[in-house]
Structure 1
Amino acid sequence: MNVLFKCILILSFFIGITSSAQDKKAQNPIIYADVPDASMLRVGDTYYMSSTTMHMSPGLPIMKSNDLVNWELINYGYDTLGHSDELDLDNGKNMYGRGSWASCLRYHNEKFYVSTFSATTGKTHIYVTENLEKGPWTTIEFQPSYHDHSIFFDDDGKTYMVWGAGKLNIIELKDDLSGVKEDTQKVLIENASAPAGDNIMLGAEGSQLYKINGKYYLFNITWPQGGMRTVIIHRADNITGPWEGKVGLQDLGVAQGGLIDTPDGRWFSYLFKDNGGVGRIPYLVPVTWEDGWPIIGNDGKVPQQLDLPASKGLIPGIVHSDDFKRKKKEADLPLVWQWNHNPDNSLWSVREREGYLRLKTGRIDSRFVQAKNTLTQRTIGPESTGSTLLDISKMKEGDFAGLCLLQKEFGLVGVKFENGQKKIVMMSAPKGEAKEMQSIPLNQNKIYLKAECDFNERADKAKFFYSLDGKTWKPIGESINMPYTLPHFMGYRFGLFNYATKHIDGYVDFDYFHISDTISKQ
């Protein structure tokens, strides 16, 4: 064996060891899926996180983790935020991109507080429980809707709320948090964006307030014109100020969040990044302390690798396949599922036919985005596939059912019953205008459908397929672009849908929904 060959073998050995070691470390993003506006805390050795899902019901998702990397959904703050035409998708109205926004998760006197706000209801909503997983919950609501607020329980027994954009305000809450104390509103920071300069596109918002070692720390996000999303940190010795501020992080557009510590004394900042069609994805960034300031990042940069355990994947904690088989005491739907807006619970069932999700029609709709009872899960990156099998034998004339990728510029593949004939249809909605791209006659009552999402390097493309036997898949229509649009303000979601355009009381049965973290190479 010559010397060169020996060197190559030795080098390969050490490369393998290094690669193996890296594989056992966490990688950013820690969740490659739409989990924005996080609020995080630790109780003992367990971490909890709340997030935003806006127009989805149930809403205000709650997750837990033992290592800051591997998260699982454990509950929601509410089943329904309220009822109105916008929340219920009635009379042509909707709450896309609105509903409930950034939440705040806090723990005080052995109770958890999860709060949010809604321009749709015009209220601030607070949900209280002693057990995030099992409940029960107490609901508190009051007006007005305090934008991007942070609840803060101070050492002196007073409870405050900080909110606003650009100009940040503070107010004291009543002892039972049922509203605000009169004449306590003050301007906390006149221009919280100032540390990032004068030319600001997005005024400082997303407040998260902490008290650490006797000092108050306030985290916000701002966005300089022509720059990137930026973390702003303010600190003060007293909650009323004076406050001094600085730029906390300007890298990759990773921003908005706060601080979390580990039982062994390490610190991280939890933040997120706008990442195209998959949505806004969470990052963890190491934090050190210098002169009483949290210093975010490694030399101001967001690392790819973290000194935390590796991710085990987002299946089954964040998304999960479902064969719709339920035992008697099981919940009808696992937590990975959310309805697009408030559902009509009389028009769906996983009990009427064992092992199937039945979606029934109960009203006439003319547009997919206004249809009731679309059942959704997140897409995940860097790639993901969703597939299903439909029994369409009980469809009625004018019915349309299938598998979608939901956003303003949606795409879908389904079965349309039109003029006495069933046909497989692929539709897309560039710029939000729905177009039928291809249709194929269908002469059987079962059909397999599939959607594949490619988010690698922001490709943001999807393809749709059908199969008559579950073995041979054929593409249909055209690939779609998946842009992140502000009118929906959410990453693309897989969805199962059925709606009527002419007659009600038809139904379809979904045998399963399967999700995977790969796509085919066809």
Structure 2
Amino acid sequence: MTRYNTFFQLFGLLSLCAAGFASSEKATNPFIWADVPDVAVIRVDDTYYMSSTTMHMSPGLPIMKSKDLVNWELLGYAYDTLADNEALRLETERSAYGRGSWASSLRYHEGKFYVSTFSDTSGRTHIYVTDDIEKCEWEEISFEPSLHDHSLVFDDDGTVYLLYGGGNLRLVELEEDLSGIKEGGFNEVVIEHAEKVATDNAMLHAEGTQVLKKDGWYYVMNICWPQGGMRTQIVHRSKSIKGPYEGRMVLQDKGVAQGCLIDTPEGEWYAVLFQDNGAVGRSPWLVPVTWEDGWPVLGEDGKAPMVLDIEDTEDGFSNIVSSDEFNRGSGEALPLAWQWNHNPVNDKWSIGERRGHLRLETVRVDDDVLHARNMLTQRTFGPVSVAETKLDVLKMENGDTAGMIALQQDYGYVGVVQESGQRSVVMVRAHDGEPEVLATIPLKQKSVYFRIGCDFRERTDEAYFFYSLDGQSWERIGEALQMRYTLPHFMGYRFGLFNWASEEVGGYVDFDYYRISGELSGLGLEN
């Protein structure tokens, strides 16, 4: 059983094989080879729950479930849309790329689940509450200001705090109903220059706060980034949430850092962290933890291991990525793997209006694909991933462009453009968001097939583009895209389906299916 058969749901159509892991029944790192950053994990009885970051995507703030810390099922999202403003609507030149909502805190307290996040895009701190996390029906509380990289703390005396900030970590007391910062409540910096336990010359000051209370001690997990070094995990501890704190560096290896400490029902301990994993994004790692003199000791001989002493023999599928035949009735929910790029315009897309198809109408006139409304996306994944779709273009209008994209600031897409009543298959590649048409081929029929293949092995980070007129014989088009993780988008590459207008609205296209595979074979590329 391969490592990746445990987290891809392919509706029985496809088999995903992770090269090099097929003979092992031990879990390996990263335990999800995809973009799942800023992880926060809790355990309730024998079940683990994890929240993560998806920034400008809607719905957002994904919630996942696991029984073993390595195989995860997506339960849903804390919100459908974070807010309704110009940035999240992709209006004019504004956007929420690289922003939206960031690192979350996940808690279980007195029968309720809490997941909190913050956003410069909304200018607020957001707290979502439910008594049934598996239903993922959340009620929102929000207030100003936006408190960066915070951790929610329910103290033993009933007081609720947020510990947040960068460099200097500040503890603020909240109102009892979590509706805002308590006037006259505790509000002080409790750890000054937290990164100094690892470096006197930081490129990135301490952030990414996660708090744990164990055996009467409060442990505060943070990262920092020394100049010329790598992302580094640090921890501070105190007998009081208000300090004083003492700290130390606990892991500096492969850039694996930022996350939380978690125990198993059997009493074993792990750190759930993540690593900058090239163009696929920031991928979660599991690092064993032992305790010495009341301090967590991360890793094996100071290293984050590639192979874990955890049996991984599940043969079930999960749903973090998913094929989709679009065989649903109108109004039925999309599979959880799908997220819209920014807030969707819900009356401009449909499934079921044409049976077995996703219809994307043009929404407005735009200048480029990065501002296209209603782009439907899923994560790419490693070590290799291929997405395929069939597109009906009969109802396109002049100036329309529709197709499939490898989405980041440096994007590439294969699609159809209609100009003066004539349609062409095009391949477009962009560097720093500036597009260049690399291939144009006349299209004389009403439908066409597209594929994009991504190779993340050994940080190759290349994407390849293909089209077919019959779904059987495939031609490579244009040139490879050198994928590059960029901070303006702050997210790993996504496959996306899109349709946008450059002249006038009114056209639409129909996508017949979306299918994924973990193999490059059959594409004329060495596997």
- Please give the TM-score of this superposition, normalised by the length of structure 1: 0.94
Contact 2:376 2:497 in 1 (8 A): yes
State the Cα deviation string for residues 406-462 of structure 1 (Å, max 9, x = none): 100000000000121100000000222101000100000110000000000000000
Query: Shift in Å at residue 228 of structure 1?
Result: 0.8
- 1 CA distance for matches of 2:436 and 2:86? 26
Gaps of 5+ in 1: 1-18
2:260 to 253, 258, 261: 258
In structure 1, the residue matched to 2:375 is 374
Query: Shift in Å at residue 191 of structure 1?
Result: 1.0
1:308 to 307, 310, 320: 310
- 1 CA distance for matches of 2:393 and 2:152? 49
Contact 2:77 2:136 in 1 (8 A): no
In structure 1, the residue matched to 2:337 is 336
Query: Shift in Å at residue 91 of structure 1?
Result: 2.3
Gaps of 5+ in 2: 1-19
Partner amino acid for 2:326?
F
Query: Shift in Å at residue 67 of structure 1?
Result: 1.0
In structure 1, the residue matched to 2:9 is none
Partner amino acid for 2:268?
R
Distance 1:314 1:165, change over 3 A: farther
Contact 2:319 2:336 in 1 (8 A): no
In structure 1, the residue matched to 2:230 is 228
Distance 1:212 1:488, change over 3 A: same
Distance 1:20 1:428, change over 3 A: closer
In structure 2, the residue matched to 1:191 is 193
In structure 1, the residue matched to 2:505 is 504
In structure 2, the residue matched to 1:166 is 167
In structure 2, the residue matched to 1:482 is 483
In structure 2, the residue matched to 1:48 is 49
Distance 1:314 1:192, change over 3 A: farther
| Bigger helix share | 1
Contact 1:27 1:311 in 2 (8 A): no
Is 1:145 equivalent to 2:146 in the alignment?
yes
Contact 1:152 1:160 in 2 (8 A): yes
Query: Shift in Å at residue 239 of structure 1?
Result: 1.2
Is 1:68 equivalent to 2:69 in the alignment?
yes
- 2 CA distance for matches of 1:72 and 1:317? 6
In structure 1, the residue matched to 2:202 is 200
State the Cα deviation string for residues 376-427 of structure 1 (Å, max 9, x = none): 0000011100010011111111110000011000000000001211000000
Query: Shift in Å at residue 133 of structure 1?
Result: 2.5
Query: Shift in Å at residue 327 of structure 1?
Result: 5.2
Q: How do residues 127-138 of structure 1 correspond to structure 2 at under 5 angstroms?
A: 127-138=128-139
- 2 CA distance for matches of 1:514 and 1:131? 32
- 2 CA distance for matches of 1:413 and 1:379? 16
Is 1:119 equivalent to 2:90 in the alignment?
no
Partner amino acid for 2:242?
T
In structure 1, the residue matched to 2:96 is 95
Query: Shift in Å at residue 354 of structure 1?
Result: 1.3
Contact 1:277 1:491 in 2 (8 A): yes
State the Cα deviation string for residues 280-307 of structure 1 (Å, max 9, x = none): 0000000001111110000100111112
Query: Shift in Å at residue 317 of structure 1?
Result: 2.2
- 1 CA distance for matches of 2:474 and 2:372? 28
Query: Shift in Å at residue 261 of structure 1?
Result: 0.8
The 3-state SS of whatever aligns with 1:227 is coil
- 2 CA distance for matches of 1:311 and 1:303? 19
2:276 to 262, 274, 277: 274
Distance 1:313 1:169, change over 3 A: farther
Identify which range, 134-143 or 483-492, moves more after superposition.
Answer: 134-143
Identify which range, 349-358 or 306-315, moves more after superposition.
Answer: 306-315
In structure 1, the residue matched to 2:250 is 248
C-alpha root-mean-square deviation of aligned residues, in Å? 1.5
Distance 1:22 1:476, change over 3 A: closer
Partner amino acid for 2:374?
N
User: Quick one: percent identity of the two aligned structures?
Assistant: 58
Query: How many residues are aligned here?
Result: 503
In structure 2, the residue matched to 1:175 is 176
In structure 1, the residue matched to 2:213 is 211
In structure 1, the residue matched to 2:360 is 359
Contact 1:332 1:350 in 2 (8 A): no
State the Cα deviation string for residues 150-173 of structure 1 (Å, max 9, x = none): 001111111110000000000111
Is 1:322 equivalent to 2:298 in the alignment?
no
Query: Shift in Å at residue 316 of structure 1?
Result: 3.9
- 2 CA distance for matches of 1:362 and 1:36? 31
Query: Shift in Å at residue 92 of structure 1?
Result: 2.8
Distance 1:467 1:315, change over 3 A: farther
In structure 2, the residue matched to 1:11 is none
Contact 1:407 1:493 in 2 (8 A): yes
Query: Shift in Å at residue 315 of structure 1?
Result: 5.9
The 3-state SS of whatever aligns with 2:88 is helix
Query: Shift in Å at residue 20 of structure 1?
Result: 9.5
- 2 CA distance for matches of 1:235 and 1:303? 25
Partner amino acid for 2:204?
L
Contact 1:69 1:311 in 2 (8 A): no
